[in-house]
Amino acid sequence: MNAGSAVTLKRGALYLGCDVCDRYFAGLEAVILLRRGQDLCILPVKHAAAGGYLLKLRNKAGDRVVHAPDFFREHGIDDNAVLDLSVVWSTEQAALVSAGVFGLQT
C-alpha cells in the first residue's frame, strides 16, 4: 500500500479533496464503493457505462463529493455520521482503502 491521505464521510457523502482526486481519480467521473470485511474500498471507474457513484465537483478548487447515503445506510453507517477517514492506495485491490470503517459505528 502507498502513502495515506484523508477523506471525510459526512451525512452519507464522501468528501474528497482535489489532491486525492488528482492523485487517484484524475479524469474520472465516477467511483465504485465496496465493502470488503470492515474496510471501505473506493475503486476508479474507467468507463462511464460501468456505473458507480458520480464524483461531483464541489468547488472551484477541484474538491469532489460522492453522494452515497444508500450505500452507507445499507452497511450500518448512520445518516448523521461524520467521520474523518484515513485512506491509502492499495495496488493489490486497485482501490483507495479505508481500513475498519464499518467497525467504527454500528
What is the model's pLDDT at position 46? 82
The whole-angstrom separation of Cα 61 and Cα 63 is 6
- The strands making up 39-44's β-sheet, listed across from edge to edge, are 53-54, 30-36, 39-44, 95-98, 82-90, 4-10, 13-16, 64-67, 56-57
What is the model's pLDDT at position 48? 66
Q: Which residue in 95, 93, 88 sits closest to 33, CA to CA? A: 95
pLDDT grade for 6, boundaries at 50, 70 and 90: confident
CB atoms within 10 A of CB 94: 10
pTM of the model: 0.89
pLDDT digits over 7-48, tens only?
999 999 999 999 999 999 999 999 999 999 999 999 999 876
What is the model's pLDDT at position 73? 94
pLDDT grade for 5, boundaries at 50, 70 and 90: confident
What is the model's pLDDT at position 53? 93
How remote is the C-alpha of 25 from its chain's centroid?
11
What is the model's pLDDT at position 13? 96
